[in-house]
Amino acid sequence: MIRFLFKGLLRDRHRSLFPVIIVAVGVFLTTFLYSWMNGVINDMTDSSAKFDSGHLKVMTRAYSILANQLPNDLALTGIDKIMGTLNSEYPGYDWTARIKFGGLLDTPDENGETKSQAPAAGLGIDLLGKNSKEVERLNIRKAIVKGRIPQKPGEILISDEFAKRMDVGVNSKVTLLSTSSSGAMAVQNFIISGTVEFGITAMDRGAIIADVSDVQYALEMLNGAGEILGYSKDMFYNYKTADKMAAEFNKKYSKPEDKYSPIMLTLEDQNGLREYLHYVNVVIFFIIGVFLIAMSAVLLNAGLMSGIRRYGEVGIRLALGESKDQIYKSLLNESILIGIAGSIIGTAIGLALAYYMQEHGIDMSGQFKNSTLMVNNLIKAKISSTSYYIGFIPGLLATLLGTSLSGIQIFKRQTASLFKELES
What is the rounded distance in angstroms from the CA atom of residue 203 to the CA atom of residue 119?
Answer: 13
Kindly report, residue by residue over 103-121, the tens digit of the pLDDT: 999 988 777 778 888 898 8
Kindly report, residue by residue over 127-184, the tens digit of the pLDDT: 998 888 999 998 888 889 999 999 999 999 999 988 988 888 899 999 999 998 888 8
Highest mean pLDDT among 231-235, 244-248, 285-289, 310-314: 244-248
Sign of CA dihedral 52, 56, 58, 64: positive
Question: Which range is least confidently modeled, 3-17, 248-262, 320-334?
Answer: 3-17
What was the pLDDT predicted at 85?
93
Kindly report, residue by residue over 51-90, the tens digit of the pLDDT: 888 999 999 999 999 988 889 999 999 999 999 999 999 9
Q: Between 93 and 39, where is the model more confident?
A: 93
What was the pLDDT predicted at 48?
82
Angle ∠(101,104,107) on CA atoms, nearest 5: 130
What is the rounded distance in angstroms from the CA atom of residue 345 to the CA atom of residue 99?
Answer: 51
**Spatial CA neighbour of 86 closest among 227, 239, 181, 215:** 227
252-272 average pLDDT score = 90
Question: Which range is least confidently modeled, 150-164, 307-321, 363-377, 388-402?
Answer: 363-377
Q: 7 pLDDT exceeds 60?
A: no
What is the rounded distance in angstroms from the CA atom of residue 231 to the CA atom of residue 113?
Answer: 43
Per the CB < 8 A criterion, the answer to whether 194 and 170 are in contact is yes
CA 363 to chain centre: 16
Question: Which range is least confidently modeled, 25-29, 214-218, 253-257, 269-273?
Answer: 269-273
Q: 424 pLDDT exceeds 60?
A: no
**Spatial CA neighbour of 230 closest among 116, 93, 341:** 93
Per the CB < 8 A criterion, the answer to whether 195 and 147 are in contact is yes
What was the pLDDT predicted at 188?
92
What is the rounded distance in angstroms from the CA atom of residue 167 to the CA atom of residue 110?
Answer: 13
**Spatial CA neighbour of 285 closest among 43, 23, 44, 30:** 30
Average per-residue pLDDT in the chain? Answer: 81
What is the rounded distance in angstroms from the CA atom of residue 369 to the CA atom of residue 377?
Answer: 9
Kindly report, residue by residue over 313-355, the tens digit of the pLDDT: 666 666 666 676 777 777 777 778 888 888 899 999 999 999 9
Helix (H), strand (E), coil (C) string for 167-207: CCCCCCEEEEEEECCCCCEEEEEEEEEEEECCCEHHHHCCE
What was the pLDDT predicted at 227?
95
Strand pairing category for 207-211 and 114-125: parallel
